[in-house]
Amino acid sequence: MDKMRTTGTGYEAREPEKFSRFLYRQKVVFLVAFVGYVCAYLVRNNFKLMSKDMIEVYGWNKLNVAFLLTCFTVTYGLGKFFMGALADRVSLRKLFAGALGMSALLCIAIGFTRQFAVIAILLILTGLIQGALAPSSQAMIANYFPNKSRGGAIAGWNVSQNVGSAMLPLIIGVLGVAAPGNISLAFIVPGVMVLLLAFLMWKLGGDNPEAEGLNSLKEMYGDEGEPNVGEDSDTTLSYWTLIKKYVFLNPGILLVGFINAALYFVRFGVEDWMPIYLSHEAGFSDAQFLTAISVLEWVAVPGSFLFAWLAVKFANKMTIIGAIGLFLMAGLIFYYETIHNTGGSSYAQLLIVSGLLGTLIYGPQLIVNILTLNFVPLKVAGTALGFVGLMAYMLGNLGSNWLMPILADNLSWTASYMVVAALSALSGIGYLTLSRRERKAVKVHETNNDD
């Protein structure tokens, strides 16, 4: 936290009590955003994890499941944009906690029905409501963290999705032991847990320091407080003019959006197709590929912390770090696709490669959120995050859902993964083209010591 105390205005000395209160609220707001987003995953992936059991018990088929997954994916992408725009207009604290509570209620409702049409409607609503959680939680962090530490805070927050993704299967596994065959509990129990925590988020969350009688980041830190992307005259512009200028017509944000779409293709192209590829093509057993998937998620946590540390150490050089990671990813994908041809040692290699994939998928991806916040004024941060998220799901996620199997069926899995590798490399090039813009937008006090 000492790193966060550096100011260019001497504010800490002039207002020590206010600054101390600000640092306390900074920690609390981060914890609310982190824990709240862990909770988001506890009421998001329930259907995906229970789909196999629902096919067997409810008499569905794979197309039923694919349709329901698409219901969530499409509406979640749209929800990210529209709810992100709403986050710039309403209380972040209330939107975040309210959306979390509503997500929990929808999750509980799914546990009380077997009707396909009803579940489809509930998943559509879940996608729209959950779309508010990432933009509002990241915007909260952006409003409380200056340039020097914002990237590290966002990177640390990003680990919450891995924690939530890893916790939910454990919770469902325990429930499965306690009550075998009871699908409803997998929705109801996590939903009740999150609903109770949502009340805590409502009480402890924050909008911005000014709303609490504190000074703005600009007043406390000077040019090192907020992204240097706006102009003085922008204060008189309407909200819609601001988002047109800084989101829809902002070359930096548009490029970040396309990079994010490519990264989501890479992420879901690897993760979603690991079970089928590793079992049908590579010949690994169920236990082996499930272990590999678990290793990918768990190693992604320390891997993301590594990128969080780099984000603090090199606050305005994240584009270069991301590019290096993505070039390494492109090479790793080539190796991943041939690993089953290496004989008896292939499983050990698979586990190592899976861990590296987790780090190189989530590390460069979290940089997207950092750059998005650095390239827009904070007053339109929610809209920018939602817009970039919309591109990710509508282009990247849906693209991997359809293109990967089409290429695999008509050409080969090698062709599918060559597309993944190419998109990884192109994303790295995209990052490099943004490095100059990043240095211009993010002013930090750089020294060679450890202050």
According to CATH, the superfamily of the domain at 237-444 is: MFS general substrate transporter like domains (1.20.1250.20)
Strands (E), 235-358: none
- How far apart CA 314 and CA 312 sit, in angstroms, is 6
- How far apart CA 51 and CA 58 sit, in angstroms, is 10
Choose among 293, 231, 305, 333: nearest CA to 34: 305
Q: Give the CA distances from residue 2 to residues 156, 236, 312, in Å, rounded to whole numbers and listed in that order.
A: 17, 36, 12
158, exposed or middle or buried, with CB in 10 Å at 0-12, 13-18, 19+? buried
Q: Output Rg (C-alpha) for the chain, integer angstroms.
A: 22
Identify the pLDDT of residue 112.
94
- How far apart CA 163 and CA 102 sit, in angstroms, is 21
- How far apart CA 257 and CA 371 sit, in angstroms, is 10
Give residue 320's identity as a one-letter amino acid code: I
Choose among 260, 212, 235, 203: nearest CA to 378: 235
Three-class DSSP category at 44: coil
- How far apart CA 300 and CA 11 sit, in angstroms, is 38
Host H or E run for residue 179: none
Strands (E), 331-427: none
- How far apart CA 253 and CA 417 sit, in angstroms, is 27
Give residue 252's identity as a one-letter amino acid code: G
Choose among 232, 307, 252, 262: nearest CA to 439: 252
Give the residue ranges of DSSP H helices in 59-211.
Answer: 62-87, 92-110, 116-130, 133-144, 147-178, 185-204
131: phi then psi, degrees, rounded to nearest 5: -60, -20
- How far apart CA 411 and CA 194 sit, in angstroms, is 45
Residue 194: which region, alpha, beta or left (left: phi > 0; alpha: psi -120 to 50)?
alpha
157, exposed or middle or buried, with CB in 10 Å at 0-12, 13-18, 19+? buried
- Note the residue count of the chain: 451
Single pTM value for the model: 0.78
Residues 29/206, Cβ–Cβ less than 8 Å: yes
> Residue 137 is encoded by which pair of tokens?
């939680």
The class (CATH top level) of 1-226 is: mainly alpha
pLDDT in tens, the chain (451 residues): 344 444 456 767 677 888 889 999 999 999 999 999 999 999 998 888 788 788 888 888 777 887 888 888 889 988 888 888 888 888 999 999 999 999 999 999 999 999 999 999 999 999 999 999 998 998 899 889 987 888 788 888 988 888 888 788 888 878 876 666 688 998 999 999 999 999 999 999 988 888 888 888 888 887 777 776 665 555 666 777 888 888 888 888 999 999 999 998 988 888 777 777 777 777 777 677 777 877 887 888 888 888 878 877 887 788 898 899 999 999 999 888 887 665 545 878 888 888 898 888 888 888 888 888 888 887 888 888 888 888 888 888 888 878 888 888 888 888 888 999 999 999 999 999 988 888 887 666 554 444 4
- Distance from chain centroid for Cα 22: 26
Contacts of 350 (CB under 8 A, 6+ apart): 278, 282, 284, 288, 292, 339, 340
| Fold match flag (1-226 vs 237-444) | yes
Domain boundaries, the chain: 1-226, 237-444
In eight-state DSSP terms, residue 385 is H
